[in-house]
Structure 1
């Protein structure tokens, strides 16, 4: 078994490259100062950041996957559970209206992150060999960090395929019929739940999403998979790809080269559109963030407009209102000058006039199977649009 130990700059490359792959979701690339403040103390303590290729997972081992959900919610639900107020402080506010019983336990800020792990270990009767990211985005670096803090490696693979996805059900492990129970869910208010049985992955999504809605817009969770499911139903090398893309972007910036071209060369992707942000809409409800992005074409795209519809992540695009690239193929908007992957969760990323490039790549092969396309396609989101592979659209 080959275990690769990563350095601090590898992790930072994961943040930058993860943002460029994230299709507008999967978190937002943090400032370098925040990253340094989080990572430097761990390095001083001797924490080792490691990744392992899926094929090297020993037989009969368990892999844990963090599976929280979240997004925007309506104002009245925000006011019921104001997460940003601080957990303990907001519980005291809740107590004024909905008095707590004597047995209530007020959790600390970290409880919801660690409780699912501890309970899943109890349920499975053993520790996992390691962890795997559910999807790829700028948060992939924190997946490595969280695993390392528990002395575990991160598996160099994911369950979404070169992208982030908005729903629990949109995973390649669903394509191969992997079971999703037990599913341990925790909220920042001290609630802990174990789902023992679901009808389907979609029912898991719907039920856990409603916990998020009633918990301020988000909840944390964790599931486990046997190593054979990880080996058969995930996309290999995606964590390494995020780091390679990040390094290519950073090298291009330093060398005065085109960071977008560096992304395309590293991924084998396609330049889909270039222009300036013309306007955006954004709405939070149902523990998702929804909206549209309009980009006015420049250069060879002058006179044309691209529109992108997103549900947390980018799903459907049009050029001059004709359907263009759609899910499951991933496409991301990046800053034309820096290659920064723009986040749909960050309104400040979308000032009118910002010069951007839209790039995309082929989705994972599992998504193009008969079952994969039944699970993830434009009709899943209510659009009567036939999926056409990205390479056919750009020819």
Structure 2
């Protein structure tokens, strides 16, 4: 129950929980900042990152909704490789995304408070991280999704009001925004043709594959009452957020048109302070605070579940459910403290996101896809049955090499290396185990 609510969550809870989780302070501040600095060239990253929810819905959510695993690593272990070391590796890689997103919430709120009050961001970051820890410690996923429901409603309503006022200086016209951005900052900020195709592709794949490895979305699907609910919830929330986050980047570009010398990290809060009516700012501040809290509790809960379920439990025998919950609460506190340090020392919000996406997406997703496509028999995947030709060593090779190559060179190379090594090493270490025998592994 603490992790997936017994696989009983209805459509409306998952939809609004997804929206509230995605539209956190990190997204509001981070994507506006990159819209300010990169202009239209940041849109491919957004399409990859947020559009991946739609890809997830169409390709993976229905599958995940059939099962009641606690984590993505759980599913890969049971269905694909049956190797506890690979399970721990997947856990560590997917943990990076949750920690980056968690750090981004506090960092985003720190920027907002600094703009509104003039107070240094550091104590604000520490304060909100403490709040995140306490908030998440008090309950599991059931607590999270019900608070997310209310906060998701706030995001939808106040978000629409904010974008209306924030884009008013360019009369809600992308054509006018582009013309003014070119005149203010140069043609390169409104011309994708000058951005190398490789850069666009890397941005798209990084965002897309990174999100496909995000525990919080798999966790929502495992918690859904059925496969259809999981798929439809991810599809609805995916369509909403790709529009909302794109608008956030356009808000950053609008801020550059209005104040080209502004600190990019302050693009969103500055525009709020100077071009949005004060009464609306109060509502929008409520929106961002609610979004940050709902996102943070989801990420912190998911991160703690990953540590206990994927990294610790495989190496400890016969642990009671009560003990696991106790460990998860301890992990919540420890990870919250680590996220505080990450949010303080990271150079930028989207920079944190990008590195985490690159590492996890380049290692985990290729192994997942190869495992699901390279089946041992034509039977459907069933909990308790390994039905993939991937071997433990094949999984380890693909996971480790993919993440390292992605960080060192490019996620495009990492994905290719991961997929190839997974297949080659699995063929070289082929197991003579039938599907029926695998049930007892």
Length-normalised TM-score, structure 2: 0.26
> Could you say which structure has the greater relative contact order, defined with CA pairs below 8 angstroms and 6 or more residues apart?
2
Query: Which has a greater percent of helix?
Result: 2
